[in-house]
Chain A
Amino acid sequence: MSKCICDFRLIQSYALPSGNRIMQFIPEGDCPECFPGQFIEVKIDHAPTALLRRPISVCHYSVRDGLTLLVKPQGPATSLFTELPLGSVVNMMLPLGHGFNTDIKPGEKVLLAGGGVGIAPLVMLCDCLAEKGATVHIALGGRSANDINGIPQLFPKAERVFASTNDGSAGTEGVVTDIPIFERLADYERVYCCGPTPMMKAVARIARASEVWCEVSLENHMACGLGACLCCVENINEAEGNVCVCTEGPVFNINRLTSWQ
């Protein structure tokens, strides 16, 4: 699948209660297809301190609706990006990386666990797996209800959506793995997780203990997104050592990620 650099026009943008934004773009020219778990590298113009592109997950992509991103105004570049007016044209490089394995059998029961902007790639994954006949459950982690509100609506095809918040203002009080479903994780054939590293490590630990297939999506800092600079590496296991997250990942099966214990 070949990568391309393409201009996109912003056609819709709205803030979630958390302050993160859902931004929908349509390509100005031909654009290759994107798969769940892949990411784009966006060039954010006029951000005085941003020289490099910024990696952002594909939240949703279809020929009809274009490309949707879920973006957190984290620092100067992403703050500028989330404030772009409708009609703005931005330059993106895509599709990048290896996404989630969506090779499932109809009837499989799967859990998608996410927190923060890690929710983004799970949105398209949920649609894709549900269309393939999976029963999809979602587990969301947030600090308070503001991080959760508005998110279940992004998963219309999920059978159930569970949540946890640190302050107990929505769902289970605690972290995502405190949600009772994690006590019976073996009820699921697969678990997919994207979120802060401590969340992914906790989910991976329980999946390992319950012998459940599990993929996680890493967010290492990147410079090129193409496998050329070796800035993004993760030491994944003893045999392979440091590998590029941008080309070999960002999604890894925990069986390969044995350095994560």
Chain B
Amino acid sequence: MAINLSVDLGAGLVLKNPVLTASGTFGYGHEFSDFIDLDKLGGFIVKGTTLEPRQGNPSPRMAETPMGMINAVGLQNKGVAYFVDHIYPTLTRFDSEVIVNVSGAKLSDYVAVAEALAPLDKIHAIEVNISCPNVKAGGMAFGTTAAGAAEVTSAVRKAWNKHLMVKLSPNVTDITEIATAAEASGADSVSLINTLLAMDIDVERRRPRLSTITGGLSGPAVRPVAVRMVWQVAKRVKIPVVGLGGICSADDALQFIMAGATAVQVGTANFIDPTVTIRIIDGITDYCHRHNISDINSLRGII
């Protein structure tokens, strides 16, 4: 039986299968090319890109916690001009979709990055990160109020006429409010969740484990929270939802799809098994065979 894994996120973003990689966990793709054929992915989302180069936060930036990790990388990247001149040319040869994750400290930064990326033919979509817990100004501040989310989304919308994905923070009282604000302001899809604001203390040394004291929790520990949020948001918005948070297997990915996600992203799991994305794609195919499903889209939102 031929199985259709292809999904359409609208506004020109069609993926050959629903599996993307999450920003900040997959570098620029080449870090994984010894292990997998990147062209087998639905697509990959590259590192958070800002207008100016950023050094990120001091070390230590990582603490492992039960079934998860807390990071405080803080959007270290070389800036959008460097991306356009030096990194983009290495990405054009891929057949998979390449999505750029966009971050900023102020509104004009988001707009300037979107403008700089707009002429790049290979980039059919950007994912606007209004939810990073690891930068002092901007980022999550925009993502924690409906008004803030609306403001960034409308501003970027004017500068970007291809697919606009808005990445939501789970660190809010009601994520569906933020999602509806993004939808109303012109988002073509929403992705969720970014990391959960978290903290870990080394009691022997009586010090926080991260230089920034707090950071963002990811990995299997966050998955049930993420599935719940995707389910809530998918019920509220009409635009496609991209689900992520702790996905390590095909079963995990299918949970998100059944909860209403059109596509999924895999993050932290890439660190443990660099081939995990391919295992997930193969596992989804196997599942479809076992359950006599000819089109992945028929599983979406069945819960």
Contacts and interface: CB of A to CB of B under 8 A. Distances in A.
- Please determine whether chains A and B interact with each other in the same assembly: yes
Interface in A157-183: none
B64 A50 contact: yes
Contacts of B219: 51
Contacts of B35: 3-5
A4 B273 CA distance: 11
Interface of A: 2-5, 43, 48-53, 93, 220-235, 241-242
Contact of B62 (A4, A53, A231): A231
A5 B272 CA distance: 11
A255 B56 CA distance: 23
Contacts of B24: 229-230
A242 B58 CA distance: 8
A93 B274 CA distance: 9
A230 B62 CA distance: 9
Nearest to B47: A230
B26 interface: yes
Contact of B59 (A48, A51, A233): A233
B249 interface: no
A93 B273 CA distance: 9
Contacts of B69: 51-52, 223
Contact of A227 (B27, B64, B73, B270): B27
Interface in B65-88: 66-69, 71, 73, 76
Contact of B64 (A51, A224, A235): A51
Interface of B: 24-27, 31-32, 34-35, 47, 55-56, 58-62, 64, 66-69, 71, 73, 76, 219-220, 268, 270-275
B55 A242 contact: yes
A230 B68 contact: no
Contacts of A4: 34-35
B32 A228 contact: yes
What 3 A-B pairs come out closest when comparing CB atoms? A231-B62, A228-B27, A224-B271
A200 B34 CA distance: 33
A2 B272 contact: no
A235 B275 contact: no
Nearest to B33: A2
B270 A228 contact: yes
A229 B25 contact: yes
